[in-house]
């Protein structure tokens, strides 16, 4: 079959890598893709916001299946327009993508289905939000309701900071995404990411992962899209996985089906492992980036078959096999990220670095320019590795990074530190 993958990041390179290995695949196309994906797929400069352009391209290339990587086209209803044109796709439709598209929507679903999450209020004015704040404890979490490219969450350490965050949201700091504000109880515990395929009725758990959101070593400095990840996340013990499935995911899938808006696609939960057990702090309706990169390194089964089974609603007849070995990915970002950064700096040495045992390099923001590989984004490369332990995967990833010649970039030096500390004390 012919497959079109939508997106251009490290997540999409990892998906392209896994899909390329499928015996079901005839040709892979990617819009818009990047220099790494171009080695596996025919890249085409599609604009995912232009649904009719995507539909026309699918018809021209006889695309049988579209895999939508990022959240924005899902929330904008690209899937709905593909379905109207008779094209099969992986991901939720617009109604179900609200689980990521509106934080308030998800909180209301949690209330309706008794899903454990932080206490909250939803507000359409600064005055009402501040009235609620006055009744709450510090720290407190202020969230823009809509999509804000990972920037719409402020954890306020003082009431003054919380009020400033509320004002910033209503003053348009996050555009239309901040016209509604969710104020949420600060949850204490260790965070983990959990992924599950859902076909509207059946849930197939994938694997756990942990991301490193802060830009600096020791989890310091500003938040980013994610500076590295590893899988599995040891905090997600079998008991916590069981509770997360029973208390959070299954009620969500049942609740969405009961509302007449079944969820099909991959659910990516942010869960806090608190003293009372797992609590949901956010849903995403797509794979995480860079979490996807480590999941794909651990997946033994055919990804494409699993994505099609999800779209077809036959996950009850499906199973997946995983490498027991952990995987870890380190993000290389352009100097200055997550603030201003230079574009167009040259990267050398990837071929030799990628040839190391257990190592796979996924591109995130790269392009070929006159025979040179150049950086085009903030997060630029992911150096991922599998190993017998997290420590070995980490050593392999950093060994490969040492062979990459890119003065224009940097990475964190401590990806996986929590899991490695656990390995050492075990």
Q: How far apart are CA 73 and CA 12, in angstroms?
A: 14
The least CB distance from residue 281 to ligand GLY, in Å, is: 12
Q: Does 409 bind ligand GLY (CB under 6 A)?
A: no
Q: Does 288 bind ligand GLY (CB under 6 A)?
A: yes
Q: Does 150 bind ligand AMP (CB under 6 A)?
A: yes
Q: How far apart are CA 326 and CA 297, in angstroms?
A: 9
Spell out the alpha helix ranges (H) of 64-208: 71-75, 78-84, 98-101, 103-113, 126-133, 159-170
Please give the structure tokens belonging to residue 118.
């932080």
Please pick, from the candidates 284, 310, 356, 376, the single residue that binds ligand GLY as defined by CB under 6 A.
284
Residue 226: contacted member of ligand AMP, ligand GLY, none (CB under 5 to 8 Å, by partner type): ligand GLY
- What residues from 150 to 169 belong to the interface with ligand GLY (CB under 6 A)? 150
Which CB, 152 or 262, lies closer to ligand AMP?
A: 152
Q: Does 282 bind ligand GLY (CB under 6 A)?
A: no
x/- mask, ligand GLY, residues 191-220, rule CB under 6 A, reads --------------------x---------
Rounded to a whole number of angstroms, the CA Rg of the chain reads 21
Which CB, 64 or 191, lies closer to ligand GLY?
A: 191
Q: Which residue in 281, 269, 289, 255 sits closest to 197, CA to CA?
A: 269
Contact (CB, 8 A) for 210 and 271: no
Q: Does 184 bind ligand AMP (CB under 6 A)?
A: yes
Torsion angle of the four alpha carbons 348, 349, 350, 356, in this order, in degrees rounded to the nearest 10: -170
Q: For residue 128, what are the CA distances in angstroms to 125, 145, 285?
A: 5, 15, 30
Which CB, 225 or 265, lies closer to ligand GLY?
A: 225
Q: Does 132 bind ligand AMP (CB under 6 A)?
A: no
208 Cβ partners below 8 Å, 6+ apart?
192, 193, 194, 195, 231, 232, 233, 236, 241
Residue 248: contacted member of ligand GLY, ligand AMP, none (CB under 5 to 8 Å, by partner type): none
User: Which residues, listed in sequence order, are joined to residue 278 by a DSSP beta bridge?
Assistant: 273
DSSP one-letter code for 113: H
- What's the angle, vertex CA 99, arms to CA 94 and CA 100, rounded to 5? 90
Q: Does 291 bind ligand GLY (CB under 6 A)?
A: yes
Q: How far apart are CA 37 and CA 17, in angstroms?
A: 8
Q: Does 247 bind ligand GLY (CB under 6 A)?
A: no
Please pick, from the candidates 12, 71, 199, 282, the single residue that binds ligand AMP as defined by CB under 6 A.
282
- What residues from 341 to 380 belong to the interface with ligand AMP (CB under 6 A)? none
Residue 94: contacted member of ligand GLY, ligand AMP, none (CB under 5 to 8 Å, by partner type): none
Residue 289: contacted member of ligand GLY, ligand AMP, none (CB under 5 to 8 Å, by partner type): ligand GLY
- What's the angle, vertex CA 131, arms to CA 127 and CA 133, rounded to 5? 115
Residue 288: contacted member of ligand GLY, ligand AMP, none (CB under 5 to 8 Å, by partner type): ligand GLY
The least CB distance from residue 1 to ligand GLY, in Å, is: 27
The least CB distance from residue 269 to ligand AMP, in Å, is: 11
Q: How far apart are CA 293 and CA 295, in angstroms?
A: 6
Where along the sequence are the contacts to ligand AMP (CB under 6 A)? Answer: 118, 141, 150, 153, 155, 184-187, 191, 213, 270, 281-282
Contacts to ligand GLY by CB under 6 A: 150, 211, 225-226, 284, 288-289, 291
């Amino acid at each position: 079959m012919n497959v079109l993958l939508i997106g251009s990041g490290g997540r999409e390179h990892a998906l392209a890598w896994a899909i390329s290995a499928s015996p079901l695949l005839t040709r892979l196309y990617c819009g818009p893709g990047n220099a790494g994906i171009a080695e596996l797929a025919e890249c085409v400069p599609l604009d995912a916001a232009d649904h009719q352009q995507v539909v026309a391209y699918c018809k021209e290339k006889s695309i049988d299946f579209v895999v939508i990587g990022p959240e924005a086209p899902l929330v904008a209803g690209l899937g709905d327009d593909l379905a109207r044109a008779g094209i099969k796709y992986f991901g939720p439709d617009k109604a179900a993508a609200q689980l990521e598209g509106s934080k308030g929507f998800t909180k209301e679903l949690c209330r309706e289905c008794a899903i454990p999450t932080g206490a909250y209020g939803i507000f359409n004015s600064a005055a009402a939000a501040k009235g609620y704040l006055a009744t709450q404890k510090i720290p407190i979490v202020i969230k823009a309701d809509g999509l804000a490219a990972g920037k719409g969450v402020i954890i306020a350490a003082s009431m003054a900071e919380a009020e400033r965050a509320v004002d910033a949201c209503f003053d348009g700091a996050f555009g239309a995404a901040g016209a509604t504000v969710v104020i949420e109880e600060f949850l204490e515990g260790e965070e983990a990411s959990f992924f599950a395929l859902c076909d509207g009725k059946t849930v197939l758990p994938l694997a756990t992962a942990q991301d490193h959101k802060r830009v600096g070593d020791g989890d310091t400095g500003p938040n980013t899209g994610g500076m590295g990840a590893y899988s599995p996340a040891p905090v997600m013990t079998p008991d916590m996985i069981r509770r997360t499935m029973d208390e959070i995911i299954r009620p969500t899938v049942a609740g969405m089906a009961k509302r007449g808006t079944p969820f099909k696609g991959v659910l990516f939960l942010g869960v806090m492992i608190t003293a009372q057990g797992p609590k949901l702090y956010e849903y995403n309706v797509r794979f995480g980036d860079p979490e996807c990169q480590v999941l794909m390194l651990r997946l033994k089964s055919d990804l494409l078959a699993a994505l099609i089974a999800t779209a077809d609603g036959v996950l009850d007849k499906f199973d997946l096999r995983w490498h027991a070995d952990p995987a870890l990915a380190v993000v290389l970002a352009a100097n200055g990220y997550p603030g201003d950064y230079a574009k167009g700096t040259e990267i050398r040495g990837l071929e030799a670095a990628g040839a190391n045992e257990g190592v796979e390099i996924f591109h995130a923001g790269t392009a070929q320019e006159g025979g040179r590989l150049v950086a085009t984004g903030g997060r630029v490369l992911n150096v991922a590795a599998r190993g017998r332990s997290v420590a070995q995967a980490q050593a392999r990833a950093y060994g490969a990074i040492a062979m990459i010649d890119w003065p224009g970039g940097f990475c964190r030096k401590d990806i996986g530190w929590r899991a490695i500390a656990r390995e050492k004390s075990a």
